[in-house]
Amino acid sequence: MTDTDKPYQLINALPDGAIVVDAAGLIMAANALAEDALGLKLPGVNVTAVLRNTAFSEALAQAREDGSPQTVDIEVRGRTPRQLSAHLAPMGKDGEVLILLRDLTREQAIEKMRSDFVANASHEMRTPLASIMGTIETLQGAAKNDAKARDMFLETMLGQARRMKRLIDDLLTLSRIELNEHVRPNAKVSLVDVARQAKSNLSSLAKEAKVSVEIASTSAVEVAGDAEELLQVVQNLLENAIKYGGSGGRVEISCEQTGRDGTLSVRDFGKGIAEVHIPRLTERFYRVNTQESRQRGGTGLGLAIVKHIMLRHRGRLDIDSDLGQGSAFSVSIPLYNS
Ligand code: ADP
């Protein structure tokens, strides 16, 4: 390292990408974060060839001209496009400029997810609310003195109000799990007991849908977890298997030990799920068929809840499905005391 390199060693200690350019725009030094963000070795290259952006070139000229710091947002195209915020700080009269680059790609993706979520949740709430309001107006007007119509409309309103309640309950469940996600639950939970409880809780739904539920293996598998949350997982999976995979007439639950995990699988023999949907099923409000989900009382949040309970348990969810053959949803959770 020569003496002239020394002043630039500081940039290696910075938490953001940093580049120093000379008066002609040639890069004299760059830290590893800047090279990572831009995907190439930087010293010796002209900065305007790397950050090809009119607003950036103008900010650089301005910083040199009046010696004032400038901030500008830049989109870097490429295989993985990135959103950067560049802060340009002139460093003295010989025209050197320090450029700090903050990668906003992840922050912006999270922000977008948050605003999409609020938009989706509001939309889901508004639909039943609009139906309830429309029904009330009808009851106040045209159907005012029609007892038969009144009973029918009240039934509709009750159905829509229940739908809103399910949605709010699921949203609250999700936020409660997310709040506790960093605390791993560690009580001893028997997977077979959870399977039996879920089967019993959903027995009337299964009966109505003419689906028989079998617990195929009864070997004692004990995992480290929270019994109530694991019951919710198995109930969500079993309810889906009955609602969407019920055409096969039967659902099978099995529990086994797989290495250091206990695995519980819920298998149905119904219509299955096309491969394109599988990676997205755990997204909030993602459904293969929105109308079918709504008709069956779905909120589009069941598998998102399963995913977050698994994250909290340091476990995982695997989905295996063949169109026309059925689906298997399996959760694997570390064994108790493993
Ligand atoms: P929902 O409240 O709509 O049931 P989920 O998050 O539980 O929401 O499931 C998301 C979607 O995944 C469902 O709407 C359905 O399209 C699909 N799905 C879930 N389980 C099954 C299954 N066993 N067979 C076929 N499709 C399923």
Both 63 and 152 in a single domain? no
- Last residue of a domain, which of 158, 183, 208? 183
Averaged over 171-189, what is the pLDDT? 93
Report residue 194's pLDDT band, with 50, 70 and 90 as the boundaries.
very high
Centroid of ligand 1 to alpha carbon of 155 (angstroms): 26
Atom of ligand 1 at shortest range from CA of 304: 6
> Domain check: are 152 and 209 in the same one?
no
Mutate to test the pocket of ligand 1, among 244, 268, 320, 321 (most ligand atoms within 8 A of CB): 244
Percentage, residues of the chain above pLDDT 90: 75
Q: Which residue owns the Cα nearest ligand 1 atom 26?
A: 244
Question: Do 314 and 246 fall into the same domain?
Answer: yes
One domain, residues 179 and 190: no
Give, using CA atoms, the residue closest to atom 25 of ligand 1: 244
- 74 and 117 housed in the same domain: no
Sheet holding 97-103, edge to edge: 27-30, 17-21, 97-103, 82-90, 70-76
Instruction: Choose one of 293, 317, 318 to mutate for the ligand 1 pocket test, by most ligand atoms within 8 angstroms of C-beta.
Output: 293
Range name among 71-80, 201-210, 229-238, 267-276 with the lowest pLDDT average: 71-80
Strand-strand pairing, 250-258 and 212-215: parallel
Global pTM?
0.79
Between the CA of 246 and the centroid of ligand 1 the distance, in Å, is 12
Domain stops at, among 43, 77, 103: 103
Per the structure, the count of domains in the chain is: 3
**pLDDT at residue 3 in the model:** 43
Residue 95, Cα to own-chain centre: how many angstroms?
46
Q: Which two tokens stand for residue 284?
A: 């909030």
Ligand 1 contact via 269 beta carbon (within 6 Å): no
Residue 39 is predicted with a pLDDT of 79
- The CATH number linked to 289 is 3.30.565.10
**What's the pLDDT at 92?**
79
- State in Å, rounded, how far the first CA of the chain is from the last one: 50
C-beta 12 within 6 A of ligand 1: no
Q: How far is the CA of 60 from the centre of ligand 1 (A)?
A: 52
Task: For ligand 1, atom 7, name the residue with the nearest CA.
Answer: 302
Are 174 and 198 in a shared domain? no
pLDDT at 243 over 60: yes
Average pLDDT, the chain: 92
Show the tokens assigned to 267: 């298998």
Domain boundary among 149, 183, 217: 183
Contact 42, 28 (CB under 8 A): no
Query: 191 and 326, same structural domain?
Result: yes
pLDDT, tens digit, 9 for 90 and up, residues 115-144: 999 999 999 999 999 999 999 999 999 888
Average pLDDT on 64-75 reads 92
Same domain, residue pair 86 and 232: no
**Per-residue model confidence (pLDDT) at position 29:** 92
With a cut of 80, say whether residue 179 has pLDDT above it.
yes
Residues 201 and 334 in one domain: yes
> Does pLDDT of 271 surpass 90?
yes
Residue 36 tokens read as 């990572």
Are 84 and 120 contained in the same domain? no
Q: What is the CATH number of the domain that holds 80?
A: 3.30.450.20
Average pLDDT over residues 180-201: 95
Looking at residue 5, what is its pLDDT? Answer: 55
* 303, 321, 327: residue to mutate for ligand 1 pocket, most atoms within 8 A of CB: 303
174 lines ligand 1 (CB under 6 A): no
Q: What is the residue range of 127's domain?
A: 104-183
Distance between CA atoms of residues 337 and 318, nearest Å: 23
Do 227 and 97 have their domain in common?
no
Rounded to the nearest whole angstrom, what is the distance from the C-alpha of residue 258 to the centroid of ligand 1?
26
What was the pLDDT predicted at 338? 57
pLDDT value, residue 1: 37
Instruction: Examine the pLDDT at 7 and tell me if it is beyond 70.
Output: no
Contact status, residue 43 vs residue 27, Cβ threshold 8 Å: yes
Average pLDDT over residues 254-267: 96
Tell how far the Cα of 271 is from the centroid of ligand 1, in angstroms: 12
Pocket lining: 319 vs ligand 1, CB cutoff 6 Å: no
Q: Please check whether residues 148 and 201 belong to one and the same domain.
A: no
Which pLDDT score is estimated for 2? 40
> Measured between alpha carbons, how far is residue 135 from residues 117, 131, 295 in Å?
28, 6, 18
Q: What tens digit of pLDDT does each residue of 76-120 get? A: 887 778 899 999 999 876 889 999 999 898 899 899 988 999 999
CATH number for the domain harbouring residue 131: 1.10.287.130
